Chains A and B, each alone.
Chain A
Amino acid sequence: MTPTFALCALLAATPDATEILRRADTAILNEQAIYTLRMTVVRPGKADRLVEMKGWRMGDLRGLVRYTAPAKERGTAYLRNGDSTYLFLPAAEKVVRVGPKQNFGGGDFSNGDIFRLSLVSDYVPTLVGEEALDGQRAYKLELKAKDRKVAYDRVTYWVRADGTFFPLRAEYYTLSGRKLKWLTVRDVKKLGRRERPVTMVMENALEPGATTTLVFLTIEDDPKLDERMFTPAALERGE
């Protein structure tokens, strides 16, 4: 095999940046899913905060997460429906609208990070190369926000190059070019019908030592969901 032929073969085998991003978008959760997860918020000098929750995903525009533990927070729920995000606080018995960029549950993930898992709709990806990351070959993508309404102006994204397209790491940058936070995705396990990474750790550049870890405990792939459960009224009724 000549070197030129080998290079052509490699290029032909490497999917384009948009395809890598599209595959990575659904590497953890399918378009429709029901899942349970545990969130651990670590703040230096403070006790860790543990929350367990159950979530429903219906495409990229509808999502619902209800706290199941601890008991004092049970019933708290976030709903994403289109461009609107709502928070239900059972103590106040009230649904309030919250910004998609506000932080989720007091951690380092924003509501958008939790509910808007699809990066391909918000960013223009460029494949800048392949590199080794944590012992894995990975595609390195530079994602540029399509407009100034997107939360992070630029994201550097590493996706496994072994055909699984599992995300490995993401670094999020502000308009001014500062790295604001970074996500590490790890612990590939079989959950539901297939293997996938189950742990996501978000670290905040502005608060050294502050981390928020999401661990998927169960995932049900492609369940039948009724879109009526993704409404503020249903949120309030606890359906």
Chain B
Amino acid sequence: MTALLRVAFLNLLRARRRNALAGGTMALGTAALVLGSGLADGISGQLTRNLVATQTGHVQVAARPLDWVPQNNPFDAYGQDVMPGGEALADRLRRDATGLGVVDATPVLYGRGSASASSRSALVGIVGVRPERETALFAQHVPQAGRALPADDPLATYVAAPIARKLGLEVGDTVSFVIQTEGGAFNSIDAVVCGIFRKAAPWHDNFFYLNLETAQALFDAAGGATQVKLTLRADSTSAAHAAARGLLPLIADEVAPEGTRLAVEPYDRAGRFSFAIVQANQVALLVVSSFLFVAAGVGIVNSMLMSVHERTREIGTLRALGLRRAAVAWLFVLEGFALGVCAAVVGVAAGGAVVLWYAAHGIPMNTMTLAWMAGGDVLYPRLEAASVGRAVLLIVGLSTLAAVYPALQAARLLPREALQQP
């Protein structure tokens, strides 16, 4: 078999132009697949990291209305109803859920309202957090001016760059928030901008962060939270689902606000919007790669059939010298395999180089639609071993399979007839 494999590789050099064309097509397909996977992995990574760090944690507990229907937007992930005991629940889960792999549980209070500064105002998202427990959040929302939200300044607010620009806010400026509490009363506070964070996912363009206690005072929700965000030791969906199942008994005695129920949501369920984008990308990649592979497969079959036709006398000679049918078939199958391996090496090298270059420099997402798709204004593709391995397996497998039919054609030739061919 080793000898046959060596012959198969050497045979690729015999019809160099044809093999280069067939192999080139496959290499191009492999490069496209590696590039496509890199983009999809980049998008998936950005959306997931952003979701887990800034919104849901790995698992979240939130009060959902009994008739709640997700609106398929990024704000679904935030709880919309205040759990009056949310802060205490977070403290309890941090203490009691360590056995489920929970390393932190922190309360978050999300609401909407208007922010005004120097006669400009806008509808904004307001999020109350405990800054000392939000390292991951502030690693995503990094300051471009000033500093991230300090835990010791109840009047500080940390604002997204786009809304800061819209309201003409700079570090040190005062902004007034006006909101309506869940009950319906208006409330307002003033806060001083401590920092402005760089534009991240577009749905955070008009966000302000406040200290939890300040947000609770603003929303008239002392001790309350719209969700409890749990961070797990293991960073995977399976770990999140397992922890979510384990958390259910721990919150069974918690009283949900009227008309709601407490839901424990792993991040892929809480962030349906992000995962819908990830799935859409995966489907698009699957469709595109299917077309690529069908085209490449047809090319390989054609190339191998031509090879069989051109080498009919050679096959007859080999058969007359005692080479068995199976060995002839194996030779052609291995030639397909060899072609696939060469194409995969070239394709992975080319596609990988492009992915790595863009991973270092980023791809600007210039339109709003692209920014929403990518979860940010810049997409950083990722070269993941699993995706590269999948591309290599696919191309080599396809190439080998495509060689089976021509190989069987070659194996069927009778030595006498083959030798009589012109």
Query: Does B176 make an interface contact (CB < 8 A)?
Result: yes
For A134-159 the 0/1 string (1 means CB < 8 A from B) is 00000000000101111111000000
Asked if B121 contacts A180 (CB within 8 A), the reply is no
CA distance A44 to B184 in the complex (A): 29
Determine which residue in A147, A175, A210 has the highest number of CB atoms from chain B within 10 A of its CB, and name it. Answer: A175
Asked if B186 contacts A101 (CB within 8 A), the reply is yes
Which size class do B's interface residues fall under?
10 to 19
Asked if B183 contacts A180 (CB within 8 A), the reply is no
A148-B220, A176-B188, A178-B188 are contacts. A206–B176 as well, Cβ < 8 Å?
yes
For B170-195 the 0/1 string (1 means CB < 8 A from A) is 00000010101101111111000000
Q: Which residues of B contact A175 (CB under 8 A)?
A: 181, 185-187, 220
Chain B residues 100 to 141 lying within 8 A of chain A, measured CB to CB, are 114, 116, 119, 121
Query: Does A99 make an interface contact (CB < 8 A)?
Result: yes
Q: Which residues of A contact B116 (CB under 8 A)?
A: 206-207
Chain B residues 182 to 224 lying within 8 A of chain A, measured CB to CB, are 183-189, 217-218, 220
Q: Which residues of B contact A206 (CB under 8 A)?
A: 114, 116, 121, 176, 178, 188
Nearest chain A CB to B291 CB, angstrom units:
39
Query: Does A208 make an interface contact (CB < 8 A)?
Result: yes
Query: Does A209 make an interface contact (CB < 8 A)?
Result: yes
Query: Does A174 make an interface contact (CB < 8 A)?
Result: yes
Query: Does A100 make an interface contact (CB < 8 A)?
Result: yes
Nearest chain B CB to A21 CB, angstrom units:
19
Q: Which residues of A contact B114 (CB under 8 A)?
A: 206
Determine which residue in B114, B185, B189, B217 has the highest number of CB atoms from chain A within 10 A of its CB, and name it. Answer: B185
Q: Which residues of A contact B184 (CB under 8 A)?
A: 100-101, 148-151
Q: Which residues of B contact A208 (CB under 8 A)?
A: 119
For A176-199 the 0/1 string (1 means CB < 8 A from B) is 101010000000000000000000
A151-B186, A153-B186, A175-B186 are contacts. A44–B180 as well, Cβ < 8 Å?
no
Nearest chain B CB to A212 CB, angstrom units:
14
Instruction: Count CB-based A-B contacts (< 8 Å).
Output: 60
Asked if B185 contacts A176 (CB within 8 A), the reply is no
Asked if A147 contacts B119 (CB within 8 A), the reply is no
Asked if A174 contacts B186 (CB within 8 A), the reply is yes
CA distance A147 to B121 in the complex (A): 28
Q: Which residues of B contact A148 (CB under 8 A)?
A: 181, 183-185, 220
Nearest chain B CB to A58 CB, angstrom units:
23
Q: Which residues of B contact A147 (CB under 8 A)?
A: 183
For B144-185 the 0/1 string (1 means CB < 8 A from A) is 000000000000000000000000000000001010110111
For A29-47 the 0/1 string (1 means CB < 8 A from B) is 0000000000000001000
Asked if B176 contacts A149 (CB within 8 A), the reply is no
CA distance A99 to B217 in the complex (A): 22
Asked if A180 contacts B185 (CB within 8 A), the reply is no
Chain A residues 195 to 220 lying within 8 A of chain B, measured CB to CB, are 206-210
CA distance A149 to B184 in the complex (A): 5
CA distance A128 to B180 in the complex (A): 28
CA distance A148 to B222 in the complex (A): 14
A151-B185, A208-B119 are contacts. A101–B220 as well, Cβ < 8 Å?
no
Asked if A150 contacts B185 (CB within 8 A), the reply is yes
Q: Which residues of B contact A180 (CB under 8 A)?
A: 178, 186, 188
CA distance A152 to B178 in the complex (A): 12
CA distance A44 to B119 in the complex (A): 8
Nearest chain B CB to A114 CB, angstrom units:
16
CA distance A147 to B181 in the complex (A): 12
Asked if A207 contacts B183 (CB within 8 A), the reply is no
Please list the 8 inter-chain residue pairs (A to B) with the smallest Cβ-Cβ separation, ordered nearest first. A206-B116, A175-B187, A148-B183, A149-B183, A174-B188, A149-B184, A174-B186, A178-B188
Question: Which residues of chain B have a CB within 8 Å of any CB of chain A?
Answer: 114, 116, 119, 121, 176, 178, 180-181, 183-189, 217-218, 220
- 28 intermolecular pairs with C-beta atoms under 8 Å apart: A99-B180, A100-B184, A101-B180, A101-B184, A101-B186, A147-B183, A148-B183, A150-B184, A151-B185, A151-B186, A152-B185, A153-B185, A153-B186, A153-B187, A174-B178, A174-B187, A174-B188, A175-B181, A175-B186, A175-B187, A175-B220, A176-B188, A206-B176, A206-B178, A206-B188, A207-B116, A207-B119, A207-B121
Given contact pairs A101-B184, A206-B178, enumerate 18 new A-B contacts (beta carbons under 8 Å): A148-B184, A148-B220, A150-B185, A151-B184, A152-B186, A153-B186, A172-B186, A174-B178, A175-B186, A175-B187, A176-B188, A176-B189, A176-B217, A176-B218, A180-B188, A206-B114, A206-B121, A207-B119
